[in-house]
Structure 1
Amino acid sequence: MIQNRQYIRKLLFLIPFLFSFLLAEGIYSQQQRISLRWKASAGAVEYIVELCEDKEFTSVHHSYKTKNTRYEFHSQDSKYFVRVVGLNAEGVRGVSSPVISLEAKFAAAPKVKVERPSSVVAASEELRISLGDPNMPAVSNSNTSSAGTPTKQIPVTTYYRVNGGDWQKYDGSISLINEGWNEVEFYSEDILGNKETPKKTRYLKDTTPPLVRLVGQKKGPSGLYEIKSGAELTLQITEEGSGMEEISVSLYSRDGSGAEENVSRSGEEAKKPITISSAGIDGLSILRWEANDKAGNSIQSELPLLLDARAPTCVFAPTEGKLREDGIYYLKENGLISVRCEDPATGSGLSKLEYKIGNGPLTAYQTPIGFPVGAHTVTVYASDLVGNRSEFKIKVNALRPDWQKAGTELQEK
């Protein structure tokens, strides 16, 4: 029994991987990059990215562990083959992904130079920069030294200040606490009192990941964003630090309805709002995104949505009378028909129910509808909270019971 439960848990994430490659838009410091992305596997809490020199994976050369569904490779990895394996909470390995040749992917990647600010730093809680070894003495610039004479070394002290603050003695590194651009000034002074002109440099400390949010939508009674299926969803990206590097967005339904939508942007395009279609998707769905800035800050997030593709359905019931085979409801004079409408369980809920008799006025339905004697056509309109609207037409014939009753006389002989 225990073995069976372990087998079931393992099956939860033995789902074939879906690979997508994001080709780097450029190189930086002569390093070409590509990104490998795969679809999350149910039950997997982390993944092992394995590299091997041969396609058969006779032995793994090296591997990386990650909890993300994306990994970036540099040009030094181009000679390897790669595969991804999911691990569940107990460390059990799932079925590995198909084997991909990184060499082929690097060969197809463009090599357009990426513009990056030279002073952008990697995301960290505290940035420390170095101006060199403060204990290294300065070299005398005296012109009196002859060839073969050792150059005289003069001890110096270096001072610095950040953002116009107090001057401090440099001891090997400078701590930059403030987020954003920091201006660092520094100069050296020797023991003879010779002081150099202060130099300036700027450093951008960026520890804040991009902000991504869904705009133009409101939450419904369920507490989720309730949206009519087919609507375009717009994500607004805010990055006030080093600038956007890359963003990828996916939208899919939990029940598998519709096709999964995927959008990826990099460089300048990653800064612009992203629109993604929800056509064909119905029910509880997940909008997921991953965004990176040029300082290395990354954010992964997902947002549950209720996408409603179906209009309400209605049923009709006469209080007295019945539906005949000719499709007409036959009632007695002033007979009533009740209407009951509901939205599907995965829908946003009924918002409005209205009807009209013939070409009469549109009336909100509150109580069963009464009919005078005669033939009538009734049109019923039902709308849900996101704007899906259904229309139903029924025919009603109300009859007056004015027929004559007759009997048979019994006669005695």
Structure 2
Amino acid sequence: MIHLHPMLRFLKVANIAVIENVEVEFEPGLNLLTGETGSGKSLLVDAVTMLLGERAGADVLRSGETRGYIEGIFRLETWPEELVALFQGVGIEVEEEIILRREISASGRSRIFANDRLVTQAFVRALRPHLVDIYSQGEAPMALGGGRPLRLLDSYAQTDELRRRVEELALAYRETERVLEELSRAEAERLRLLDIYQFQIREIERVRPTLGEDEELGRERALLVNAEKLFQLAQEAYAELYEADDSMLRKGARVFRRLEQLRELDERAASALELLERARVLLEEVAYFLRDYREGIRFSPERLAEVEGRLAELERLKRKYGPTLREVLETLAELKAKHEELASADMRRGELEERRKRLGAEYRQLAGELSRKREQAARALERAVTAELRALALERGRFQVALVPVEEFP
């Protein structure tokens, strides 16, 4: 049995055109509405179209009425994915029946409900292709346009899921081809950027900068440039404090001896003597520092030239990739990441080509299976419909399904 569409089970129309109130229950199979011209048969069809989003203003109301409504109940045995997505998109639960109701007021405004949830006209218009097909006289050829015959055949053959899978594979294959083409077009630019990044990486790595190196070298340079002055100052301070005949420590020693004599006569001098002793210890520590500092000063023109050369290299890097050494190192990391990404494009190309090959093989396999099942279903459908035609006394009537292969893809 073919289930091409959900079935309209019930239709109720009230105060629309000449209809005061009518309720119609439809049975499974073929339902025919008969009657004289002008009896309102087409009004029921119009009511269904209004229920599914067609324009419905105050002019459609029955004369003298201020409000009218149309209600339809559709029963579904299966839910297409597109229909499920529509309902889930507006937060309506999927059930066996869809109950649509449209209320029209004399003000021209109308409201539409789907399973008691207020919805938009756009929503019910999107539902229409999944619920009904309405054709006027002479529109039969149009009914079979837009790929509909193939969808009907797939429904009969129960190959809808297989067709969707084949379509997904075709889309994935085309997308993979598109990315590969983009990679090919961008190949020259990729190689150009690879050369630039490689040059910049080598330029930084050749110098091999370390964080804080420029600050440390700056301090060393200041010492080297001022070595003679520093030596002189340290020497003079050391002499004043320790080496000279009248140095502070020598004078302090003489004062110390006087205080010792004073303490022998007056104990109150003991505290002053203790303070002087502590001062002597501190002054000796300063003297030792000055001596070591003086002896540690080495004026080396060679080292100064080396430091200044190194600082010049670091400054060039900072001007180009900085302005600080930290930013130079961050730039180096970024350049390496970009270079690695571009260098891996070849690997990505290989992966994409392998993916294209795999998708093509799977597509050909499933497309072949789909074609075989369609061919089998087409012959079965021909026999079934032809038998029905004979039952209608159309002995010479024939129903034929022609499957025309398209260009092989991929």
Where on the TM-score scale, by shorter chain, does this alignment land: which range? Answer: under 0.3
**Greater helix fraction, Structure 1 or Structure 2:** 2
Q: Which has the larger radius of gyration?
A: 2
**Structure with more contact order per residue of length (Cα contacts < 8 Å, sep ≥ 6):** 2
TM-score by length of 1: 0.18
Would you tell me which structure has more strand in proportion to its own residues? 1
